[in-house]
Structure 1
Amino acid sequence: MRRQVPHSALSTGVESVWTFRSATTEKPQPLPLTAVRYGPGGLDESNRAKPGGVTRMPVWIERNPGAAAAETRSIRLEMSTDDGTSWRRVPLVRTGSGWTAVLRNPSAAGFVSLRAAVTDTAGTGLTQTITRAYAVG
C-alpha cells in the first residue's frame, strides 16, 4: 500500500507478505497470520528522533486471534535511511515477551524505514516493510 497525504510524510508505504500452509476445512478457521508491532522510544509528538542519536525500539509479534499457536523461530530487523534502496541489519535482544533493538539515527534530517522478517515453528512467515516509519530531525 502506498499513500500520499498532505498532513504526513510518514508511513508512505506499508507492505506485509505472509507465507503459511492452508487446507480445506469443514468449517472456517482463522488464518495463522502474524504482525510485527513497534514501540519506539524517545520520539517527539511528531514522531521525530534526534539526528545522530539512538532510538530504542521494543518489538513484539501479534498473532491472529483463534489461529493455531506457534512459537517464533526467528526474527530479523533491518533499517533503511534511503526509503528502502539499501538496508542494514539491526541486532535484536530478547526482552520478556518480545525483543528490543537500538537504532542509530542518521546525523542529517530524513526518515527511517523498517523491515522485519519473522518465521515460526509451524512454518508461517511474514516480511513486513514500513517505508518512513519515523522521521529524523
Structure 2
Amino acid sequence: MLATSEITDCLIALPERCELRAELPSEAASYTLSTSMTRQSVLSTRVEAAWTFRSSRTAKRRPLPLMAVRYAPDGLDEANRATPGSVTRLPIWLERGQGAGPVKRLRLEMSADDGATWHAVPVAASGPGWTALVRNPATPGFVSLRVTAQNGSGGGLTQTIVRAYAVGPAV
C-alpha cells in the first residue's frame, strides 16, 4: 500500500478535505486505487469503487486516467422508487479522464439483497453509452448496482452502489 487516508469531512466548498495524494514509484506498473463510503440513509447506503490503471514516470504531473460511471434510470418516481415487478430502463455512460482510453468491455450486475448475491444484467451499446433493462423484484425492497468497465490499456473500474434505488412503497 502506498497511501491511505480517512476522509470524513469532505465538502464541495472545501475540496482540500476530499483529496488523497500519493507519490507513485517511477517504474511502469499497474496500480489500484480504491475508495468506499457508508452513510445512514435509505438509498446509497454504501458506495465502493476500485480503479486499476497503468502509470510510469512522466516529465510533469498529470491526472490519473480514471473513469466515472453515471446512471439515469427511467421510470422511477420522485422518491427514486420503481414499481414492484416492473422493468427499469437504465442508461449508463462513463466519463473518462485524460488518457483513460475507450471502454472495451462493460458488465452490469444487480442485487435485490443488498449485495449478498449478484445477477448479470445484459447491456447494449446505445449512442455514447449503454442501456440495460433491470427487472425489479416483485416485492418491495431495493436494487443495488455494480458495474465493471475495462479499457484496452489495462485500466478499469468496478463501482458498487448498495441500494441504488427502492422498489415499492416508501420504506
TM over 0.5, shorter chain:
yes
CA contact (8 A) 2:100 2:151 kept: no
**2:128 is matched with which residue?**
97
Which AA in structure 2 matches 1:121? G
Aligned mates of 1:30, 1:132 — CA distance in 2:
31
Aligned mates of 1:53, 1:69 — CA distance in 2:
35
Give 1:21 shift. Answer: 0.6
Task: Say yes or no: does 1:125 pair with 2:156.
Answer: yes
Q: Alignment identity in percent?
A: 61
Task: Say yes or no: does 1:112 pair with 2:147.
Answer: no
Question: What is the number of residues matched between the two proteins?
Answer: 132
Which AA in structure 2 matches 1:115? R
Which AA in structure 1 matches 2:60? K
Give 1:26 shift. Answer: 2.3
Question: Which aligned segments of 4 or more residues in structure 1 are displaced greater than 2 angstroms?
Answer: none
Bigger radius of gyration, 1 or 2?
A: 2
2:43 match: secondary structure: coil
Q: 1:62 aligns with which of 76, 90, 95?
A: 95
Aligned mates of 2:100, 2:121 — CA distance in 1:
27
Aligned mates of 1:28, 1:132 — CA distance in 2:
37
Give 1:121 shift. Answer: 1.2
- Higher alpha-carbon deviation: 96-105 or 69-78: 69-78
**2:17 is matched with which residue?**
none
**2:72 is matched with which residue?**
39
Give 1:123 shift. Answer: 1.3
* CA spacing shift, 1:14–1:122, aligned 2, 3 Å: same
**2:39 is matched with which residue?**
3
2:38 match: secondary structure: coil
Q: What is the CA deviation profile of residues 70-100 of structure 1, one whole-angstrom value per residue up to 9, with x for unaligned ones?
A: 1111000000000000000000011111110
CA RMSD after TM alignment: 0.9
Highest RCO, 1 vs 2 (Cα 8 Å, sep ≥ 6): 1
**1:73 is matched with which residue?**
104
Unaligned runs of 5+ in 2: 1-36
Q: What is the CA deviation profile of residues 57-76 of structure 1, one whole-angstrom value per residue up to 9, with x for unaligned ones?
A: 00011112xx1151111000
With normalisation by structure 2, the TM-score equals 0.75
CA contact (8 A) 2:145 2:160 kept: yes
Which AA in structure 1 matches 2:63? P
Which AA in structure 2 matches 1:56? R
